[in-house]
Structure 1
Amino acid sequence: MSFETIKDIVNFNPSRPLSKGKEFPFIDMASLPVNGRDITEISNKVFNGGGAKFKNGDTLFARITPCLENGKTAKVENLPVGCIAHGSTEFIVLSAKSKDDEDFVYYLARLPDFRSYAISRMEGTSGRQRVSWQALAEFNLRLPEKGKRKKIGEILKSIDDKIHLNNQINQTLESIAQALFKSWFIDFDPVRAKIAAKQEGNDPELAAMCAISGKSETELEQMAEDDFAELQATAALFPDELVESELGEVPKGWDKYSLSKMITLIGGGTPKRSEPNYWNGDIFWFSVKDVPNEGEVFVITTQEKISELGLNKSSTKLLPVGTTIITARGTVGKIALVGYEMAMNQSCYGVQGINGVKQFMTYYLIKNAVEVLKKNTHGAVFDTITQSTFDTVTSIKPSIEMMDLFESKVEKIMGHIKNNLYENNSLIALRDTLLPRLLSGELDVSGVQDEVA
């Protein structure tokens, strides 16, 4: 390894031509992940002459507080071939001089020593401090040989690729669960299928079975006997008539309740910050910072933890696994399912179903009601969801058998999502352990490669 500065392998904020007044792909600061790699959203925006310019393979590094301290960094991918994009003026672009170094440069930007160095070189007034690219360019490190740099990047990339794949799978799984809830309890597809079949002189049960399964009648005939019987029993649970109500048309026989009559709310709290013994214990403590990304559903770790003493000496309470959390003050309407027993702050409610409404039904009832809850918030300074806000939402309540069936089907999906999140947590820990040891040369590259594979 040779002792060099980062600018030996990186071009900072390279000059790239873009025509003013024309529209190009655009990435803003909000789209950069915190301690992640993949950009969440690429939009299009007219280029007016300012901001960062970058291409696929470049690393975007947030230079302003608190984005730098929070770990906002990303590797640019998924732009059209040969495309130049633009973005926030608060990005520093790190472009590898060699394509083989692109992954290495990204992980170098994630290196704790590099980030600490960047933070130490920030300048400016409080709250608007920035680090310059010139300061970053002076960062010294022992560079592995070029071939080893490529291997290091590949090893770490393989871990992040698996994390990304798990996230994609989770988004797909959650969309399936949400689609099932919508089909059964919002659009009433099986009920409408029965009504249409009756009007046409066809078998309503068979029509509902097709609507539930997405299969044709011919495909139903080819199903295994047990599967057919199970689907038939499911179809039988749906009414064959819609009636008018204040919610519009709803299935006959399904009850209508204020949402507050279907749930119970649990308040949170914050242990005294002045008491160090209340903090850094073994109990997860949820705040809005811990809201999971879209598709993740569960919160299985938190940025802060409290002690048992902190739990007992504050108004916060321990939430069982399966409790829905909704943020209720300031940033309102963000939801999560508790994946591990945890406490939470006073800006949230824990929500549990009652009278036969179980955990996943509760989660989707709340998710479906979020926009109405947000619309009905109030507060002099912050938008706030109060207990009375839940009185403003009316929801249907199907039969217990119907809700239990939904729960059993969604439980399998949610189990897969949670297992993927557990695996991701382990992969993140592995990546973050390997990162400094690989880049410093402490670990032999070929040995680690065999271990990861």
Structure 2
Amino acid sequence: MRYDGWKETRLIDVIDINPRTPLRKGTLAKKVSMQDVAEFTRKIQSYEIAEFTSGSKFKNGDTLLARITPCLENGKTAYVDILEDNEIAFGSTEFIVLRAKEGITDSKFVYYLAISPEFRNIAIKSMTGSSGRQRVQSDVLVNTVIDLPPLEEQKRIANVLSAIDDKIELNNEINQTLEELAQTIFKRWFVDFEFPNENGEPYKSSGGKFVQSELGMIPEGWRSGTLGELIKISSGKRPLKKSKEKTEEFLIPLIGASSVMGYVKEVLYDEKILIIGRVGTHGVVQRYQKKCWPSDNTLVIKSSYYEYIYQLLKSIDYAQLNRGSTQPLITQTDVKNVKIIIPSKEVLEKYELLVGTLFNKAEKSLEENVSLSALRDTLLPKLMSGEIRVVDAEREVEVCLQKSS
């Protein structure tokens, strides 16, 4: 059903695709690589300052759409808002730049159009090329016909969906702050030895006693040892059946060396575990406190001192443990033999309580983000097709955000 004011139009008539944007070669500018764009995440994650030689060029308000497999299928699309007024940045040649036409389209509406299932399916089906190097055909994209609502309605649609993404981004920022605070506490207590003594004073600064150890001077009552003394470690397993997409049957996340790589039916772990890569990817430490299935390219670690071990695992130089030739490989034994400082039980328990409280808050934010993402993904195609009216979506989002505040 098409509502009053909606019109059928070609994409090229309402959106500028790879528009001309001036940037001289040799200019130092912000550069966004494909790895700086996360899957189904509006915010650009990072950038570097580099000399422009070639690549896509863009400005604030533009949408970056990956045009190469598997980045497009995986949902790498971002909205540019990291620049100053009139600043031009550049990035991967594998980005398609989408820019709203003034007076015709809204910039954030363009972003949500680009991540909508119907638009993505058209782009994905247009891909041609050799296996593993397929790319979107631009001529198919520019001639794609869409139902476009009036500009004011575009803005209202974008505002509804943006309210959800704004809350998700705020939660992510809070979680990043909590993570940094936990790292700061870890360094202060276990590197600078300024943990609170029995009087609540910083141990080292208040004249706490130190003794010599294999790892240098450490507080009295502490000792040197190995990681294996505080952990239980095992390998993940290869599931019998898996799905790339989440379905009614396949709901349990299948955890790879660095991220969720699919879904399975069964549960392998339903407790607090830490996951690191065994083959290929090392150095990424993943926290899981719910049902999951770690894959066979991971190592699973359990400990009574979960938060302390989490920080230790993040600080390990995994290159020193590598036994692989064609690709990185670490073993359970190598991890268990890593030398560490083992604080007193009293200090460890205080740290677990303090930092555990921080990460409990972060975990609630992550759970909230899952619900918010699900709501956004449900509303998005309905708003883009006119199946649901904006006023109804606004009420639904308002109720959801009130519950989360």
In the superposition, the TM-score normalised over structure 2's length comes to: 0.90
Equivalent pair of 1:37/1:73 in contact (CA under 8 Å): yes
Report the counterpart of residue 255 of structure 2 in structure 1: 286
Identity of aligned residues (%): 38
Once the two structures are TM-superposed, the CA of residue 210 in structure 1 deviates from its matched residue by: 11
Q: Does 1:247 align with 2:192?
A: no
Matched, 1:35 2:40: yes
* Residue 172 (str. 1) matches residue 177 (str. 2): yes
What is the Cα deviation at residue 343 of structure 1? 1.8
Check the 8 A contact 1:121/1:135 in 2, yes or no: yes
Match of 1:376 among 291, 307, 321: 321
Pick from 381, 388, 392: which aligns with 1:443?
388
> How many Å apart are 1:190 and its aligned residue?
4.2
**Pairwise mapping of residues 156-305 of structure 1 onto structure 2 (< 5 A)?**
156-190=161-195, 205=199, 207-208=201-202, 240-272=208-240, 280-288=249-257, 290=259, 302-305=260-263
Correspondent of 2:7 among 2, 8, 16: 2
Structure 1 274/26 Cα, relative in aligned 2: closer, same or farther at 3 Å?
closer
| CA displacement, residues 46-101 of structure 1 (integer Å, 9 cap, x when unaligned) | 112x2111000000011011111111100001212110111111111000002761
> Is contact 2:273-2:288 (8 Å) kept?
yes
Given the alignment, which residue of 60, 67, 77 partners 1:63? Answer: 67
Amino acid at match of 2:24: S
Structure-2 change in CA distance of 1:390 and 1:113 (3 Å): same
SS at match of 2:365: helix
SS in 2 for 1:324: strand
Is the 1:319–1:338 Cα contact (8 Å) retained in structure 2?
A: no
How has the CA–CA distance of structure 1 residues 273 and 422 changed in structure 2, closer, same or farther, with 3 Å as cutoff? closer
- Structure number with bigger Rg: 1
Question: Residues of 2 paired with 1:404 and 1:339: CA distance?
Answer: 19
Deviation at 1:304, TM superposition (A): 2.5
Match of 1:111 in 2: 116
**Equivalent position to 2:56, from 42, 45, 52:** 52
Could you tell me how far apart the structure 2 residues matched to 1:153 and 1:349 are? Answer: 42
Residues 274 and 149 of structure 1, relative CA distance in 2, 3 Å threshold: closer
What displacement does 1:439 show?
A: 0.6
Unaligned runs of 5+ in 1: 195-203, 212-234, 291-301, 312-317
CA distance in 2, matches of 1:147, 1:358: 54
Q: Compute the displacement of 1:376 (Å).
A: 1.7
SS of the aligned residue for 1:288 comes to: coil
Runs of 4+ with deviation above 6 angstroms: none
- Would the aligned equivalents of 1:184 and 1:190 in 2 still touch at CA under 8 Å? yes
Distance 1:4 1:35, change over 3 A: same
Aligned partner letter, 1:305: Y
TM-score normalised by length of structure 1: 0.81
Q: Which amino acid aligns with 1:105?
A: V
AA partner of residue 257 (structure 2): V
The residue type equivalent to 1:345 in the other structure is S
Match of 2:365 among 409, 413, 420: 420
2:309 counterpart letter in structure 1: T
Q: Which runs of 5+ in 2 are unaligned?
A: 1-5, 399-405
Q: Deviations over 1:352-398 (max 9, x none)?
A: 12xxx4222222222232x2x33221123221110221244211111
Aligned residues: 389
Which residue number in structure 2 is paired with residue 220 of structure 1?
none
Q: What aligned pairs does 1:76-115 form with structure 2 within 5 A after superposition? A: 76-98=80-102, 101-115=106-120
Mark the CA change 1:128 to 1:57 in structure 2 (over 3 Å): closer, same or farther. Answer: same
Q: Give deviations 1:267-287, integer Å, cap 9, x for gaps.
A: 211134599xxx954443211
Q: Determine if the alignment matches structure 1 residue 358 to structure 2 residue 327.
A: no
- Alpha-carbon contact 2:61-2:81 (below 8 Å) kept: yes
Structure with greater proportional helix content: 1
What is the CA–CA distance in structure 2 between the aligned matches of 1:411 and 1:152, rounded to whole Å?
A: 39
Task: Give the 3 Å change call, closer, same or farther, for CA 190–303 of structure 1 in structure 2.
Answer: closer
Structure 1 residue 207: Cα displacement: 4.7
The residue that corresponds to 2:265 in the other structure is: 307
DSSP 3-state at the match of 1:131 = coil
